[in-house]
Every structure is written in C-alpha cells, then in structure tokens.
Chains A and B, each alone.
Chain A
Amino acid sequence: MEFETVMGLEVHVELSTKTKIFCSCTTEFGGDPNTHVCEVCTGMPGTLPVLNEQVVEYAIRTGLATNCEITQYNKFDRKNYFYPDLPKAYQVSQLYLPICRNGHIDIEVNGVKKSIGIHEIHMEEDAGKLIHDPWDDCTLVDYNRCGVPLLEIVSEPDFRSGEEVIAYLTKLKQILQYIDVSDCKMEQGSMRADVNLSVRPFGQDEYGTRTEMKNINSFKAIARAIEGERARQIELITEGKKVVQETRRWDDNKGSSFAMRSKENAQDYRYFPEPDLVPIEISDEWIERVRKSLPELPTEKKERYMKEYKLPEYDVDIITGTKALVKIFEEANAVCNNPKEVSNWIMVEVLRLASETNTDPDDISFDPKNLGVLINLVKNGVVNRNTAKEEVLAKMFSDNVEPEQYIKDNNLQMVSDDSLVRDIVTSVIAANPNSIEQYKEGNEKVVKFLMGQSMKQLKGKANPAVVTKVLEEELAKL
C-alpha cells in the first residue's frame, strides 16, 4: 500500500524586542544565569504583567507578512501547568482570540508552487531553562529566558513531504528576518519547530492518528525526524498495529524518536482569560501604519531583481534568500550601480570567503558599501581584478578594511605607466632568448609565457591590457 504523509507545523519564534513581553528586563541571549530577571518575570507574589506594545506591533507585522487577518479585539489566556521552568505555574498565551488568523505562505518545491495555510499566530511568553548538574545530581533553573516574547505560528495540516516542510520553514525564516521581528537562530533556540505527523493510504479522506515531535532544532534534523517518524508509522500500520496519539521526542543522534507522553496522560491546561491584562484593541489605523512600514518581502524582491536587474534566477534565489546578502547587494549596488557585477562578486567571492572561513552570512562584518567602492576601483583600473579579489576583499572580509586606503597603504595600485611596463617587458624579452627563438619560429604560445613573466615582475599590479599592448609592440620590433 502507498502512504501519504500529512503534516502540520507549530513554529515558536523568539521576537527580537529589546525587553521582555511583560517587564523591562533585557531579552539578550546568554548572560549569567538569573541575571536578566526581576520580580515580574520570576512570578513573585503580587506582581502583575504589563504588555510590551512592541510585541503586538511585531505580531501584526508578522501577520500581515504572512497574509493573515488581524484580530482587532484579542486577549491573553492563562495556560496552567506545573513545571519548575515556569515560575507562575501558568504561561500567558492566547487560546480563544489569537492575534492573527487565516494566513498563508507560498512555497515552491521542485518547480511546483503550493500555498501553505496558517491557522493562527499567537503571542506568548517563553519559559526558563532547566540545567541538570551531573556533578551534584541536581537540576538548576535559569529564568533569563522567562518572559522573552514568542510568536507561535500554527500551520494548517497542508504538508505532504519533508521538502515542503523545509521550503516553508526556509521561507518563514526569510520573511521573519526581512521584517526584522526575529533573528531566527535555531541553534540559540530563537526558532523552534514542532511537527505533527500522520500517514494515511493514498486516496483516503480521513486523517490518520497523529503524533507530535517537539523542539527539533535544525532543518536537517527536521528532515530526518520526518523521515524516521513516517517510516515508523507506516511500519506499525503495515504490521496491523495502531499509531498512538502521543508526543514524541526526536533524538537526532540516535536517529529515532521515543514517546514522551500519550493522549491519556495529556495535560489539561485549564485555560481561562488572563485577568491581569486588559484586552488588546487594534485600530484600523494601527494595522495600516504597520502595513505601510513593511519592507519588500522575499517573493517581491526576487521578482524585482530578476526583472529590473536581469539577474539569473539561481543567483537571485540565493541573494534574496538571506537578508544579510540582500543588505550587501543593495548597499554595494547603491555605490557602484552595477547589479550584475555586485551579484557576481557576492555569488563567487563573498560566498567563497564565507564558506572558507565557515562564516554564517549573518555574521559577515565588512561594510557592504566598500564592496561597491572596490568594484568601482576595479572598473576604473585603479586595482587589478585579481588583486582586488585575492587581497583586498579578503582583507575586507577579515578586518573590514577600507579598500582605497588599503590599496594605497600596501601599494597595490595598478601600474599603467607605459615606460615602466616597457622596461620590464624588454628585460623579460632579454632574459628569455629561447622563448624569443620559439616565437620567431611561429610558436604563439610563448606570448602567454612572456606575458606571465612580465606580470610576475610587475607583481600583478599592472593593467593586463597595457602589458599585452606593450609586449605586442616590443615583439613586433624584433
């Protein structure tokens, strides 16, 4: 029997607001345990939450960027459960009236376009972190992350393959980075995905029994978890056994999942409206203001780059796929107005340096304007292209140097002075009588050798066109 996989995603994203959702503590990642805390985020008796309006703004931005309807009257609810990382024993979240609903994100897998529905997006607070101390065999709690604002983005069960899931997550990450609401760093836990998965024979309308895999923290692990869970469920069904509705944890090292809790043991969260917060009313004006402030989104940008700059789709996909590369592209192009060149430099040189130095594009630190400056310097014959790539850009990449200054300081300007070139060329001709003999016998290949020797003598700083011209003149004299 052939099986179809049906999946839905719940993605948690930490918002990049400066302060927490209900107090003024910093949201900064790291810090010594329990230093980014106050009475409010540690849930001390008598404290009350005050909503950070920036969180609402970011949620609206996210909703609009993912084609959602904005719930103009929305509320917070309490989700009650006991766990040491949750100091109030309830999480302030949204159950009944989430801020965004009925959106979609368009993806493309192997040339096939598909729209993935977004059921809802709601705001909530993050919990702390438990750290097990094996030395003392005890568990310690770090509340720094408590109260960091989260969006939970719940998709419809629209995914049929792991590729679709990865395409969606990639697109979602791009959008969230473009609109500046989250850095989406999976390794730091600022983007986390839970996968709901079931299988059913092709053609069957009803969904199969689903399992949920929680907190998988890389795209690759998600792909593996999906494949593993799909195989496990199909095997159970094929063997005549039943899939149990449960939460499972994917162990990426072992390549298998294990059950955390079944539906029978599922928590009753006893949701009810949070009485300490007043309902949030979002005016039409507010929504319009946010809509106007939205930057160009990945899909629009891609289309524009292809149309306006006539760049190849492959290159545009890569550049628009990462906000950091877009920034480099746009700022460099603003300086040199040469989109093709900028795109080539990014695709070939910048990404090569990034991969050689194992640098995430987000962490590239040179001033993008200087790439435009460098491209102009090459175009204007100030510096040789190879020197620009091998020496100047590399130094910009590692030390963020100013290209003009660096070229000057290190005497890398191209030599365009004919007499100097001529001196070198004649000395090269004089030093290689054998080659000249071969040239006279009609061996044209020797010209390349003499050219190379001359360039070497000129330490690569000469304009190759000038060297070629002078060499040809000198050879003609022979």
Chain B
Amino acid sequence: MELTSLSALELGKKIKSGEVGVVEATKASLENIEKYDSTYNCYVTVCKEEALKRAEEVQKLISDDTLTSPLAGVPVGVKDNMCTKGIQTSCGSKMLSNFKPTYTSTAVQKLEDAGAVILGKLNMDEFAMGSTSETSFFGATKNPWNIDRVPGGSSGGSAAAVAAEEAFCTLGSDTGGSIRQPAAFCGVTGLKPTYGAVSRYGLVAYASSLDQIGPMGKNVEDVAEVFSTIMGHDPKDSTSVKQDAKKFVLDNNIKGMKIGIPTNYFRKGLDPEVKESILASAKVLEGMGAVVEEFEMPALDYAIPAYYIIACAEASSNLSRYDGIKYGYSAENFDGLVDLYFKSRSEGFGEEVKRRCLIGAFVLSSGYYDAYYKKALQVKAVIKKSFDDAFEKYDVILTPTAPTTALKMGENLSDPLKMYLGDIYTVSVNLAGLPGLVVPCGFDKEGLPIGMQLIGKPFGEDTLLNAGFAFQSTTDYHTKKPVLKSGKEA
C-alpha cells in the first residue's frame, strides 16, 4: 500500500511508532502534489520548503515526546481563505493574489500546534462563492474521479486534495454547503461543525453569521480527530461558543438511534440515482438497529432565498474592505479616489463575487431592508424552529447532499440560478447553525460518488460522527479510490 493511501490516523500511528518519518510522509505528499496537481489543480500555493523544514522540527518534537497528538507529523492542506502568516492567502481571487497575512488563523494554528505539517493552500471558488470551484482566479479544480467534472465547491480544492491523495486531510469552510457538497462530489468525508464550535478568527469572511471551518478526510475517524483538534472557545472570536475541545470516542452501536428523513427533500429535482442511494443507506442504518422515519419539513422550501439574501448582504459588507488601498489588488491607472475604488473592485473581483455584492447591497438598501433582509431573518428563525421541533423526535436527520452527482465543467457557470438551486439540501443547515456530516454512500452509473448528509442537533457532532462511523464500519464506499492521472496522462 502506498504511504499516501493511509488515513491520517493510520499515518499518525506509524509516525509515532517510528515506522514512518515525518519528512518521509511529507515528501510522499509533495511527490503526489508534483505528480497530480497539474491535472487537478487542488493547490493555489504549495509550501514545499516550509513543509519540509517544519517536518524536521516536528520529527524532533515527536521523538522527544513533546508532541503526542495523533495528528503529529501528518501532512495536511488548508483552504486558501484561512490566514497563514507570511503565506499568500488569496481566497481564490485576483483581489488578494498578492496578500500575505501578518497572522495565522486560530484553526490552522491549532492544527500546527498539534504537529500537523501544512503542505499548502487549497483552491476554492472566489471568496467561497460558488459550488463548483470554477470561479477561482487560479483556474478550476478538477474532480479526481473524472476530470471533466467539477469537484464541487467552494472547498473543491480541499475535497479533491483528499481524493487525489495530495493531503491526508484538509480544512475547508462551509457557508451554505461548501464542505459537504464537494465532499459528496469527491467521495470523501466532510464535517460542517455547529456554528460557533470552531473559531472563525483568521477565516476571511464571506457571510459571517453562516461561515464555519470544518475538516475533510478519508473517513469519519480522521474527520473526528481533526475536528477535536480545531474546536473550542477562542477569546478572539466572540461567536465561538464557550466549550472545551473534546476527544470523540467513536462507537458503531447505533441501536435505537432515531433517524428522520424529510420527505420534501425527496421530490422533484432530485436525481433518481442519488435518491435511491440515500434511501438504500437509510436501510443500511436501519439494518444496524436505527429507527428510520419519514416526516415533513415545509419550512425548508424557503431556505434558498433566505440564504442568498443573508449571505449576500453580509458578503457585500465583508468584501467592501477590498478597496485597492491597504492591501491586495490595486488598479494602476485611476483618476481620484472613487475611480480607484471603482477600478480596483471592477478588475479585482470576478463575476460571481460582483453579483453577490450587488444582490447584498440591494437587499440592504434603504426601503428594501424590511422586505428582504428582515424577512430572511424571520425565515431563518422559522427554519431553526422547525429543526428544533424535528430534533424533539429524532437524533439525526438524513438527507441528500446535492440533487445530482458532480456536474460537468462549465455546466452551472452560465446559469447562476441553477447553481443556487443546487444548494437546496445544505443551506438550511447553515441557517439553523447545525452540524452536518457528509459520508460517501454510493456511486452513480458513471462511477461518480454520492454522499449522504447527516444533520445533528447543535453541538451534537458526537451523535453524527457515531452514525457516520457506524455506516463506514459496514460499507466500503469511503475506501474506494479514483484512478489518478498525472499531468502527462491527463
């Protein structure tokens, strides 16, 4: 078995026992990046020298027992919207293509403190706006299962890097499905934690009330370990919840676990093969002793408009700071202050970012606020309430992650509305601030992965992880690997 095919925890064990060296593991990942990344374009920045230097340091710290984390020495990748001191943090945008932060985000710092070796920064939709990873200024990322398909987005680089074995595990961020949908498209495991479980300090904001950092990996155990490492209260993030990090002892006994399936998620628009696969997975869980039941959640039908209003409103404000003056892209020829703003932003942002900033500015404008933004907040409250009601009856809610498997490249780029509708199963989770876990649960006729989504109560990640762990202990979808193509072969 190739070293890079190990899971993060398997590698961690071998490093701890001395069977594998940290430098050796790091080199193996870097070799895969060198071999495959010209095909898949997972990375915006590869930090080869920094990673090798850090690998040597970490090796010493492991050898003298200073570092004892199960992730010590494991090479990982980080989505390019998390600040890394002195290393370009572009958010997939021309606007920040020359931006090197002066500090490191809390989540990345926690991973580094545990001894993980950062290989580089992963590609993404520009400012995390998109669900295909095609809107990146640095070119589209490709799906390792089929290079004519998108990896999903916006954390497409984070998902594809795990699938292409260019990192043992990665960090992504999820505002409306940006960890879960690419995890489903690339056949990897991804967790969007409860809002407030992981510090957002250093995560370049898209929509502050919805953004959440989370782990992506080869299986539930890896994802649980990374989550355990990055979670916990951060005094630098007022919205991070006051709870300590905890270890997850996974248990595949799900006897009596109550699983609800919202029937309105299984009607029109859902690809039949995806539907079949999700319902079959429900049977698997039922076979393990879970109690599966169908129910209606009508409020979910309003999730997409509410999500796009809130997310765009916040984005329009969050992205206003990119004005060409302090850092980032600045137009060269301009006539006065307003022209500098106008040109820098016109030239520095891509289409989708501009579209969302315009929508956001519109819905917040005087005279429209009540009709749009305020209404959307009301819908958000209704959705939250209907989840609360559902969790009175169920421990976990099972849904599809996306209406289809991975789309063809370019298919959605020309039709933003179609792209927005593709987020139907994921955005309500962000609106309600809940945790969502995606695990691979099948393949369509073309061999593209299908992922199911498990939604949990606030801070109910342990239940979700147990359900996912139980599923992976009786299925092998998560162990399937795409046939990778090096640059020449592609």
Contacts and interface: CB of A to CB of B under 8 A. Distances in A.
Given A88-B320, A88-B321, A45 B238 contact: no
Contacts of A448: none
Interface string A37-71: 00100111111111100000000000000000000
A77 to B, nearest CB: 11
Interface size class of B (residues with CB under 8 A): 35 or more
Contacts of A141: 325
Contact of A82 (B83, B204, B236, B320): B320
A49 to B, nearest CB: 7
Of A141, A270, A277, most B-chain CB atoms within 10 Å? A270
Interface in A234-261: none
Interface string B309-335: 000011011001101011100000000
B82 interface: yes
Of A80, A88, A275, most B-chain CB atoms within 10 Å? A275
B326 A46 contact: no
A45 to B, nearest CB: 4
A131 interface: no
B105 A46 contact: yes
B339 to A, nearest CB: 12
A50 B238 contact: yes
B239 A87 contact: no
A385 to B, nearest CB: 60
B478 interface: no
B364 A272 contact: yes
| A interface secondary structure, majority | loop
A313 to B, nearest CB: 50
Contacts of B327: 44
A50 B314 contact: no
B320 A90 contact: yes
A278 B208 CA distance: 12
A369 B325 CA distance: 54
Contacts of A51: 238
Given A272-B373, A275-B208, A275-B314, A89 B321 contact: yes
The 10 closest A-B pairs by CB, nearest first: A89-B320, A275-B209, A270-B364, A275-B208, A46-B202, A45-B204, A46-B83, A46-B204, A268-B366, A89-B321
B134 to A, nearest CB: 22
Of B81, B105, B205, most A-chain CB atoms within 10 Å? B205
A277 B238 CA distance: 6
Nearest to A79: B317
Given A46-B202, A87-B321, A89-B317, 4 more contacts: A44-B327, A80-B317, A270-B317, A271-B364
B323 A268 contact: no
B327 to A, nearest CB: 8
Interface string A69-104: 000000000101010100111100000000000000
B488 to A, nearest CB: 37
A276 interface: yes
B391 interface: no
29 contacts: A39-B101, A42-B326, A44-B101, A45-B91, A45-B99, A46-B101, A46-B105, A46-B203, A46-B205, A48-B237, A48-B238, A51-B238, A80-B316, A80-B320, A80-B364, A82-B323, A84-B323, A84-B325, A84-B337, A87-B321, A88-B320, A89-B323, A270-B316, A270-B317, A270-B364, A272-B364, A272-B369, A272-B373, A277-B238
A277 B237 CA distance: 8
Contact of B317 (A45, A78, A277): A78
Nearest to A43: B321
B375 to A, nearest CB: 13
B365 A87 contact: no
Nearest to B240: A48
Contacts of A89: 317, 320-321, 323
Contacts of B320: 80, 82, 88-90
Contacts of A49: 238
Contacts of A270: 316-317, 361, 364-366, 369
Interface string B228-251: 000000011111000000000000
B413 to A, nearest CB: 25
A275 B433 CA distance: 13
Contacts of B102: 39, 44
Given A43-B321, A45-B101, A89-B321, A268 B365 contact: yes
B227 interface: no
A43 B101 CA distance: 12
Interface string A111-146: 000000000000000000000000000000100000
B235 A50 contact: yes
